[in-house]
């Protein structure tokens, strides 16, 4: 499908936000789902690039991405009025918690965008929403004000320029030290971070979900280029089609 860029902004160091409009199932898309975006005419960059849906209104959606290579560089150069050829929404999103659940959302760096969409959906349902976000520095941080409107926000940066000095795990531990307990924990970020988040709750009765951002080729379950290991070494699952969101007990982190 072809979406139109309506707005572009550089929102942090190397981080861009694009707002897109056009025919899209805005009312049924789930937080955690993503788009596969064609780069250029698709000749030089044959593989589409996966980018999460970060926010949705009734007639637009936003994506937020870090420029890491040629594909994301090309995306950052789009202007209002440009068309974007996208496939989506793809993948399996985050299951929402039951009403009145106590929820913790944990985002590391560029893992935060799909969690904003999730936080918007969780906030009206939950009894308590805590959000822990970690960035390298204040210059890398984005959407902090938007998250703060939705829940109790604890920030951490590696250099202490914003929030606690430390990692997002320090932010989680600081919330826990206040005596907070959660029924549901949702996380997105680098795999080592996801592993430690899961370990933090190993002795508690918590339902945990992680979003894995594996490298992808087809994005629709056909090529098996994105597999991850399931618990117990019993098999593999495709991140693009079976995920990217998984129950953290169902995958090897
Ligand atoms: C389901 C899913 C959702 C994603 N959502 C977002 C998002 O919301 N915002 C965002 O900024 N990025 C997101 N990513 C990562 C994004 O797809 C990659 O950064 C992008 O494809 C890189 O393309 P490129 O051509 O710019 O870089 P390339 O030239 O392809 O790669 C440049 C560098 O980035 C690394 N890289 C490439 N792909 C990934 C990846 N999937 N994960 C980690 N490192 C990668 C490469 O190893 C290399 O070091 C998501 C990935 C997945 C699978
Ligand atoms: S990217 Fe092809 S199966 Fe997942």
User: Domains plus CATH for the chain?
Assistant: 2-90 (2.40.30.10), 102-211 (3.40.50.80), 213-253 (2.10.240.10)
The ligand with the least distance to the CA atom of 238 is: 2
- Bridge pairing between strands 55-56 and 61-66: antiparallel
Per-residue pLDDT of the chain (253 residues; tens, 9 = 90+): 999 999 999 999 999 999 999 999 999 999 999 999 999 986 777 789 999 999 999 999 999 999 999 999 999 999 999 999 999 999 999 999 999 999 999 999 999 999 999 999 999 999 899 999 999 999 999 999 999 999 999 999 999 999 999 999 999 999 999 888 999 999 999 999 999 999 999 999 999 999 998 788 888 999 988 888 887 666 888 999 999 999 999 888 8
CA–centroid distance, residue 100 to ligand 2 (Å): 36
Q: Hey, which of 72, 187, 194 would you mutate to test ligand 1's pocket, going by the most ligand atoms within 8 Å of its Cβ? A: 72
pLDDT at residue number 197: 97
pLDDT at residue number 252: 85
Q: Distance between CA atoms of 68 and 49, rounded to whole angstroms?
A: 12
Among 178, 188, 189, which residue's Cα sits nearest to residue 152?
Answer: 178
CA–centroid distance, residue 205 to ligand 1 (Å): 33
Burial annotation 30-54 (CB, 10 A radius, 16+ → b, else e):
bbbbbbbbbbeeeeeeebbbbbbbb
pLDDT at residue number 229: 87
Q: Model's pTM, two decimal places?
A: 0.95
pLDDT at residue number 61: 98
pLDDT at residue number 145: 97
pLDDT at residue number 233: 61
Burial (0-12, 13-18, 19+ Cβ within 10 Å), 85: middle
Which residue matches tokens 């929102």? Answer: 11
Which residues are CB-neighbours of 220 under 8 A, at least 6 positions away?
36, 87, 90, 240, 241
The ligand with the least distance to the CA atom of 110 is: 1
Q: Hey, which of 240, 242, 243 would you mutate to test ligand 2's pocket, going by the most ligand atoms within 8 Å of its Cβ? A: 240
């Amino acid at each position: 499908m072809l979406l139109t860029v309506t707005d572009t902004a550089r929102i942090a160091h190397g981080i861009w936000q694009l707002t897109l409009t056009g025919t899209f199932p805005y009312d049924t898309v789930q937080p955690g789902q993503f788009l596969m975006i064609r780069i250029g005419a698709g000749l030089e960059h044959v593989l589409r690039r996966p980018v999460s849906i970060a926010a949705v209104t009734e007639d637009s959606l936003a994506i937020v991405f870090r420029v890491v290579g040629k594909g994301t560089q090309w995306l950052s150069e789009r202007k209002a009025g440009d068309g974007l050829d996208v496939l989506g929404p793809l993948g399996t999103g985050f299951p929402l918690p039951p009403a009145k659940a106590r929820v913790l959302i944990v985002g590391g760096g560029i893992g935060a965008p799909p969690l904003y969409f999730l936080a918007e959906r969780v906030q009206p349902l939950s009894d308590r929403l805590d959000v822990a976000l970690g960035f390298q520095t204040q210059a890398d941080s984005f959407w902090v004000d938007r998250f703060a409107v939705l829940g109790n926000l604890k920030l951490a940066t590696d250099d202490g320029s914003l929030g606690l000095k430390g990692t997002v795990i320090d932010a989680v531990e600081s919330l826990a030290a206040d005596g907070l307990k959660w029924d549901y924990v949702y996380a997105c970020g680098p795999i080592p971070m996801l592993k430690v988040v899961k370990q933090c709750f190993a002795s508690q009765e918590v339902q945990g979900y992680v979003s894995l951002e594996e490298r992808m080729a087809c994005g629709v379950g056909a090529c098996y280029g994105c597999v991850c290991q399931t618990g117990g070494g019993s098999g593999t699952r495709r991140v693009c089609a079976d995920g990217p969101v998984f129950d953290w007990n169902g995958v090897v982190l």
